[in-house]
Amino acid sequence: MALLEVDRLVTEFHTGAGVVRALDNVSFTLERGKVLGIVGESGSGKSVTAFSLMNLLEAPGRIASGSIRFKGEELGAASPTRWSQLRGDRIAMVFQDPMMSLNPVMRIGAQLAETVAIHARASRAQIDEQVCSALRRVGIAAPAERMRAYPHELSGGMRQRVAIANAIINAPDLIIADEPTTALDVTIQGQILYEMKQLVRSSGTALLWITHDISLVKDLADHLCVMYAGRVIEQGPVDQVIGQPRHPYTRGLIDSLPHAASRGKRLYSIPGATPPLLALPPGCAFAPRCSRASAACSVTPQVTVAGAREFRCFHPLDRP
């Protein structure tokens, strides 16, 4: 039984202008101790996936249908109390902006201690020890002194490390990270990526890493999902998806990345733009921009399964 099984998840936003389907039958699984990368551009639904999984959607968003099974338990039916038990303890989240999870008027040590205290009974000394240990694991030197700092006294990279410490402190089974390094500098991003890899390996925590940067997940993830307009259009083992993409969008995305070999030549760019979710074309959302589209694409493609690979396309790219 997989750690996390998402099956045909549908999330809708009931706005004044109409119902927006931010997630349209999204399905994927995540095994214990593995890393799943979700890649997509703006409007693809990747962040909405994270918030749906944590039940943090705010009105007018709501999960319309589908199931989320965590360790066999159906989360859609979970009560708010059950969610409070799970969040921070079994499932933790790291946001793009660390200030989303850090309280600016509390010392970081106090915040981390609070995360421990609400989920377990422990003495003051034990909690402090856990806090120091978590800070050390995310690479913060001199944790006993640093504990007393306020978030604004720390740099962006440090704050994100504290947010990660907050996520790992109770040794959760699953960490959902929504673009955690996007706002950080390259060298700091490198450090945090490295540390996350170490953490995952040493603690066996599963990691769901959401990003718009496909090159980031290449070394981190085992499995990759590519999202477009609220649908998972391709998924599979990361090397295979990047090395031999089956869906034209994935291919286009990879080809658009600038690199040394394309110096002096025009970069490939996918023509057109992502359609607005309120006005999706019928059938395959990518069809208007796809060179391989045909009349068949006016019907939403179902998921084709080819071994460990899955994709939604009537005209997938051939296996080389």
Partner 1 sequence: MTAMLSTNKLTKTFSLKQGTLARAAAALGVGGDAPRQVFAVNQVSLDVDQGEVLGLVGESGCGKSTVGRMIAGLLPASAGSLAFQGEDITRPSVATHLKIQMVFQNPYASLNPRHRIDQAVTEAAQYHGLVSKSEAPAYAAQLLRQVGLDPSYATRYPHQFSGGQRQRIAIARALSLKPRFVVCDEAVSALDVSVQAQVLNLFMDLRESQGLTYLFISHNLAVVEYIADRVAIMYLGRVVELADTRSIFSRPQHPYTQALIADAPRLDTKVAEHRPIQGELPSPLDPPRGCAFHPRCPHAMERCRSEVPALQQGAPGHWSACHLVHAAA
Partner 2 sequence: MPQPSPNTMDMNATAVSGTDSATATLPPPESPWRLTARRFGRRLPGVIAAAFLMLLVLLALAAPLIAPQDPYDLAQVTIVENERAPGALSDDGRTTFLLGTDGAGRDMASAILYGLRISLGIGVASALVALAVGTVVGLTAAYFGGKVDAVLMRIVDVQLSLPTILVALVLLAVLGQGVDKTLLALVLVQWATFARNVRGSAMVERNKEYIEAAMGQGLPAHRLMLRHMLPNCMAPLVVTTTNQMANAITLEATMSFLGIGLPQTEPSLGLLISNGFDYVLSHQYWISVFPGLALVLLVVSISVVGDQLRVVLNPKLDT
What are the residues binding partner 1 (CB under 8 A)? Answer: 41-42, 155-158, 185-191, 193-194, 212-216, 218-219, 242, 252-254, 256-263, 266-270, 273-274
Binder of residue 279, out of partner 1, partner 2, none (CB less than 5 to 8 A by kind): partner 2
Instruction: Assess 261 for contact with partner 2 (CB under 8 A).
Output: yes
For 205-308, list the strands marked E by DSSP: 206-211, 223-228, 231-237, 304-306
Footprint (CB under 8 A) of partner 2, residues 283-302: 291-292
Query: Does 243 sit near partner 2 (CB under 8 A)?
Result: yes
**Residue 248 contacts partner 2 per CB under 8 A:** yes
Choice from 98, 236, 252, 301 touching partner 2 (CB under 8 A)? 252
Read off the DSSP letter of residue 215.
H
Minimum CB separation of residue 154 from partner 1 in Å reads: 9
Encoding tokens for residue 101? 């999870």
Q: How far is the CB of 291 from partner 2 (least distance, A)?
A: 4
**Least Å from the CB of residue 179 to partner 1:** 13
Quick one: what does residue 214 bind among partner 1, partner 2, none, with the CB cut-off 5 to 8 Å set by partner type? partner 1
Q: Are 217 and 227 in contact (CB under 8 A)?
A: no
Q: Work out whether 255 is an interface residue with partner 2 (CB under 8 A).
A: yes
CA distance 207 to 93: 10
Question: What CA–CA distance (Å, rounded) separates 178 from 27?
Answer: 18
**Listed residue (246, 243, 238, 270) closest to 256, CA to CA:** 270
DSSP string computed for 81-98? HHHHHHBTTTEEEE-SSG
243 binds, among partner 2, partner 1, none (CB under 5 to 8 A by kind): partner 2
**Distances in whole angstroms, Cα of residue 15 to Cα of each of 18, 59, 231, 276, 281:** 5, 9, 20, 14, 19
Binding site for partner 2 (CB under 8 A): 242-245, 248, 251-252, 254-255, 261, 266, 268-269, 271-273, 279, 291-292, 317
